[in-house]
Amino acid sequence: MSKHPVLTLTADHSLLPVAASFVESTCKSSGFGQKETMALMFAAEEIFTYLSQFNKGVVMILSCQPKAYQMELTLKFDAQTFNLRAFNLTSSVDVTDESSLDVMGLIIASKMVDRFFMEQSGSNIQITFIKYRDYGKTAQCTYTPDQLTQPVVTRADTMETLVITQMIHESESDLPFELTLPPMASDMQAEGDLNALALKDKQGTIAGGLFWKRLSQNTVEIMGPFVYGQDQPGPLGEALVEKCLETIGKERVTGVLCRHYGTMIPEHCFEVIGHFAGQKVYFRQMQEDTGAAVWLHPSLEKEIKQQYESLFLPRNIIAIAQDQHPSNPYSVISTELNRSINRVVMHPLVMGQDALKNLESHLKLFQSEGYTDMDFELDLGQSDQGGWVPALIKTGFAPELLLPYGGKGDLLIMTCSIRNKADN
Amino acid sequence: MTDFCVDHLIPDHIAAFELYIPSKPDSELEKLYQCDRILRLNNNENPLGPPPEARKILEQFPPAKAAVYPSGDAWYLRQKLAQKHDKDPDQFIVGNGANELISFVIQAFCQKGDNIITADKTFAVYEWVAKFSGFEARLIPLKDFGFDPEGMIGAIDRRTKILFVCNPNNPTGTYWNETIFRAFMSAVNGEKIVVLDEAYFEFVEKEDFPDGMRLMAEYPNLVVFRTFSKMYGLAGLRIGYLAGSLRVVDVIRRTCVVYSVNTIAQDAALKAIDDENHILRTRRCMALARTYLKTELTRLRLPHIIGEASYVMIKLPMSDSLAYRKLMAKGIMIRSMTGFRFPNYIRVSLSTMEMMEAFIKAVSEIL
């Protein structure tokens, strides 16, 4: 049974005050400030108005899940009654006028929050908005560790996480968003959404750490190792990585990904599976790979096959038809917007005859919104997703990263970077 | 028809449980890894196979017997085990491999709120069965790659029911000698059940290695596991047994699934158990492999632990899961150890010289 507040109501404009009031009162009672409360309330109003017109009369379940570091607003629908085209950020309320970008409720609502994503799981459709707690400005670090005597690696408590994140905030240039805000990292850990290791000695002197979090059902992301005053790989960084791998060794994890790391990363513990923003992406499988089937569009087959061979990944490659003619006239794309890192991730939901046009509209919208990094994730374990490849290639997407078992099967991340295009 | 939603029916401890995905059949792996044969060095199977008399049982098994239920409690095999170990037949329970026996013992003694104690880096099934049965598994870190008796004793509380000791330990091959084991049993003081898993007992030649079957007479809370999967080469038939005091075994028997051990397994085990020559031949094979690997791994500068059982643990300067894939592409199947909480280690079964040479050649090429 859910322990957070839930409201069930019909998508009807007359009930807008009820939805807004529900969000406002939940935020306030959970100790969120006026700024966060108003942002989520406006997002809820916008999305409710949009959906009341696009899906009038549909039953929706609103839930607010407060956490120490964020408020999560979720709208759930039954997929059988929901008009999936509302998922396209470029859909306007007036379905006869797709060009009227000024009434696109989802994109307007998404501007109010830090993260926004949509997903379909079985018979459920879900739209999620996340607003982070406002932590203000990060305090200047005053912690400088002494030389460690007999260092050990232990699970870090939230106070130690605060110390480690303050320490690395000053010394590391490539940190994920959550580690740039020490109190947020500490709160995330308290909620169980972030894990941390501390490198310290028996006197309690802390000189480094490593963090990890779930990225998906199968994949964990490691952030680090970070060791104060060291800029070369060595036994301390290795000890942090090995302790982390031991800790998650028996959990439900197929692989670990490492995109944010210091100079101490023990490369031999990982494999390089590609590059992200010009930097190596490290990966490691946690289990023995006993093979999988992947569905590939012929235009990518040669390149991806080479990658599989270079990584020794056993895959049964099934080529899909070169030119597919989907029966559905309309395609649907779900989107994850992450304003804190200026990143868009798109996922194919429904393949349709208008795939190219739909994709172009989305790209145009994201460019106008100032997004520079746009990814499209194809689950190669799903036979129906390869049909998007021709449209992706035509709009400038190229394979960037192949993440083994990142989805139902391997996840191929294709990137269209406006910044890179401009640089070129 | 709409999808049946099962989520609300799943207990929390099952929802949180990691699914174990067994390896695909060798022929499928050969296709996927594009190799023409696979040398199995992953499961510590006996390269010599079953003893000759057990082979005859397999070759001559009358098809008509397949239509008849097996002995529900392995009657003849228990008589034979009793005779061999000088005990009462009712002191034995035969199960469908050690996994089933672990389950019997945990179900017999644990109830809601109870815990079991074992090591953090050992045979995983003690922990799995406890967790998916809804009980806490207290995992004590190994000390110098071996079980830590003080750590285990220190973790005991009022709700502790069973302590599992794998001797020699899988995967490190380390063992408790009789002095350590006796001290441990004295500290437990007869208040908890101690399971001594001796799956690799027949491989150990050290004088100070404790014999659980003998010590059982002194410790009525001791339960010993043995198997026909390793030394006796019957892994494919799934058959093992436990032994303990009459009182303890009587309790465990209440949780047993009778008829779970098939006729051919019982018949083959009955013949296998008498073959002392098979044990000597296997030990000679293991000794040759052990000596060869020690030399070669030292030459390759690969840290390794060769214990008393039929396997070796090797630390590689690379991810063990990557090593698994690279070795598979060369037709060599080993066990990667991240899942045992030993990242960058692999476990390799001791086998014939031909297999050991093939392994050393392959591992040299991937380094």
pLDDT per residue as tens digits for the range B8-32: 788 887 877 766 777 889 999 999 9
Chain A residues 143-202 with a CB less than 8 Å from chain B: none
Is the pLDDT confidence value at B2 over 80? no
Read off the pLDDT band of B162 (50, 70, 90): very high
For residue B27, the distance in angstroms to the closest alpha carbon of chain A comes to 12
Of the candidates B23, B318, B340, the beta carbon closest to that of A290 is on B23
Q: Is the dihedral of CA A13, A15, A17, A22 positive or negative?
A: negative
A284–B29 CB contact, under 8 Å: no
- Residues in A closer than 8 angstroms to B32, CB to CB, are 290-291, 314-316
How close, in Å, is residue A255 to chain B by CA atoms? 10
Q: Which helix (H) or strand (E) holds A241?
A: helix A235-248
Beta-sheet pairing, A206-214 with A219-227? antiparallel
- Residue in chain B nearest A239 by alpha carbon: B343
As a three-state string, the secondary structure of chain B is: CCCCCCHHHCCHHHHCCCCCCCCCCHHHHHHHHCCCCCEECCCCCCCCCCCHHHHHHHHCCCHHHHHCCCCCCCHHHHHHHHHHHCCCHHHEEEECCHHHHHHHHHHHHCCCCCEEEEECCCCCHHHHHHHHCCCEEEEECCECCECCHHHHHHCCCCCEEEEEEECCCCCCCCCCCHHHHHHHHHHHCCCCEEEEECCCHHHCCCCCCCCHHHHCCCCCCEEEEEECCCCCCCHHHCCEEEECCHHHHHHHHCCCCCCCCCHHHHHHHHHHCCCHHHHHHHHHHHHHHHHHHHHHHHHCCCCEEECCCCEEEEECCCCHHHHHHHHHCCCEECEECHHHCCCCEEEEECCCHHHHHHHHHHHHHHC
Contact B325 A123 (CB under 8 A): no
Size of interface A-B (CB pairs under 8 A): 87
Q: Which residue from A minimizes the CA distance to B32?
A: A314
Nearest C-alpha in B relative to A316: B32
Average pLDDT, chain B: 95
Measured between beta carbons, the chain A residues lying within 8 angstroms of B34 are 314
Per-residue pLDDT band for B331 (boundaries 50, 70, 90) equals very high
Q: Rounded to an integer, what distance in angstroms lies between the CA atom of residue A19 and that of residue A9?
A: 8
* Predicted pLDDT of residue A413: 94
Q: CB–CB of A246 and B325 under 8 A?
A: no
Q: Do A312 and B325 make contact, defined as CB atoms within 8 angstroms?
A: yes
8 A C-beta contact, residue A352 and residue A328:
yes
Task: Give the gap in angstroms from C-alpha B200 to the nearest C-alpha of chain A.
Answer: 24
pLDDT(B335) > 80: yes
Pairwise CA distance, residues B326 & B344, whole Å:
14
Residue of B nearest to A315 (CA): B32
Q: Is A254 on the interface with B (CB under 8 A)?
A: no
Quote the minimal CA–CA distance from A288 to chain B in Å: 6
Chain A hits for B145, CB-CB cut-off 8 Å, are none
Rg of the Cα atoms in chain B: 21
| CB contact (8 A) between residue B3 and residue A315 | no
Distance from CA of A290 to the nearest CA of B (A): 6
Tell me whether residues B21 and A290 touch, CB distance under 8 A.
Answer: yes
A290–B338 CB contact, under 8 Å: no
pLDDT of residue A98: 47
- Name the residue facing A271 among B322, B324, B335 (closest C-beta): B322
Nearest chain B residue to A282 by CA: give it: B319
Which residues of B fall below an 8 Å CB-CB distance to A?
2-3, 5, 18-19, 21, 23-24, 28-29, 31-34, 124, 127, 317-319, 321-322, 324-326, 328-329, 335-336, 338-344
Q: Say whether residue A3 is in contact with chain B using an 8 A CB cutoff.
A: no
Residues 266-295, chain A: which have Cβ within 8 Å of B? 268-271, 284-291
Closest to B2 (Cβ–Cβ): which among A123, A270, A287?
A123
- Amino acid B39: pLDDT: 96
Q: Which pLDDT does position A94 carry in this prediction?
A: 46
A37: closest CA of chain B, how far (Å)? 32
- Asked whether the CA dihedral B365, A274, A272, B17 is positive or negative, the reply is negative
User: Is residue B185 within 8 Å of residue B220, measured between CB atoms?
Assistant: no
| Interface test with chain A among B344, B348, B366, by most A beta carbons within 10 Å | B344
pLDDT at A423: 43
Least confident of A130-134, A149-153, B38-42, B280-284: A149-153
- Most B CBs within 10 A among A268, A288, A307, hence the mutation to make, goes to A288
Nearest CA in chain B to A248: B341
- Are A139 and A84 in contact by the 8 Å Cβ rule? The answer is no
CA distance readout (Å), B26 to A262, A354, B36, B156, B356: 41, 45, 10, 43, 19
Cβ distance B33 to A245 less than 8 Å, yes or no, reads no
Chain B residue nearest residue A121, CA to CA? B3
User: In degrees rounded to 5, what are phi and psi of residue A334?
Assistant: -100, 150
- How much is the pLDDT for B1? 45
Q: Is A238 on the interface with B (CB under 8 A)?
A: no
Instruction: List, for residues B111-135, the tens digit of each pLDDT value.
Output: 999 999 999 999 999 999 999 899 9
Single pTM value for the model = 0.90
Nearest neighbour of B18 by CB, restricted to A241, A250, A288: A250
User: For residue B56, what pLDDT is reported?
Assistant: 97
**Mean pLDDT across B28-43:** 94
Residues 6 or more apart whose Cβ sits within 8 Å of residue A306: none
Average pLDDT per block of 10 residues along chain A, 424 residues long: 79 89 91 88 84 79 92 82 68 49 62 81 80 79 68 94 89 84 94 96 88 93 90 88 93 92 92 86 95 94 94 94 79 84 87 91 87 92 92 93 93 78 43
Give the pLDDT score at A95: 44
Token pair of B4, please? 């049946």
Of A269, A287, A315, the CB nearest to B343: A269
**Mean pLDDT (whole number) for B96-102:** 93
- Contacts with B336 from chain A: Cβ below 8 Å: 287-288
Query: What pLDDT was estimated at residue A137?
Result: 72
Q: Contact A250/B3, CB-based, under 8 Å?
A: no
- β strands within A104-191, DSSP E: 115-121, 124-132, 152-155
Express as a percent the part of chain B with pLDDT over 70. 98
* Interface residue of B21, B118, B321 to substitute, partner A, most A CBs within 10 Å: B321
